Amino acid sequence: MWDKVKYSLLINIALFLLVFVLGYSAFGAIRNALVISREAAAAQKRIQELQQKKRELEKRLAALDNKDVVLQEAKERFNLKEPGEEVLVITPEKNTEPQWIEKSGIWTRIYRFFFSNFY
């Protein structure tokens, strides 16, 4: 009787399909587990970054309890000054292009653009 079952084409095909379906399901489960573990690692890293940022913000908040720090912050953010205090403002020069660009023509600028690495 077992010989009939063992050599039956229909039963062998059914067993092969069963093994294939189980293997495919196991592969999918392993793939999902790997994806979840990567997402968990990324979430853990983000948690650590946010905890570090929280500590920095708490330090800054504690520093803002000091009157001098609040005054300095107000001066930096809102450009405030105290009575009798002078503020020095440094502005960049208006002409930021090299002088040779102003004095040279279009063909000289094109030549220098392409051949500036050779001299």
pLDDT digits (tens, 9 = 90+) for 93-102: 776 555 555 5
Q: Answer yes or no: are the C-beta atoms of 81 and 75 closer than 8 Å.
A: yes
Burial 17-47 (b: 16+ CB within 10 A, else e): eeeeeeeeeeeeeeeeeeeeeeeeeeeeeee
Q: Convert the pLDDT of each residue in 4-57 to its tens digit.
A: 777 788 888 999 999 999 999 999 999 999 999 999 999 999 999 999 999 999
In a domain, 38, yes or no: yes
pLDDT for 16: 92
Higher pLDDT, 34 or 106: 34
In a domain, 89, yes or no: no
In a domain, 71, yes or no: yes
Structural domain of residue 39, as residue ranges? 2-84
Q: Answer yes or no: are the C-beta atoms of 74 and 64 closer than 8 Å.
A: no
pTM exceeds 0.75, yes or no = no
pLDDT for 97: 57
Question: How would residue 60 be classed by pLDDT, with cut points 50, 70 and 90?
Answer: confident
Q: How many domains does the chain have?
A: 1
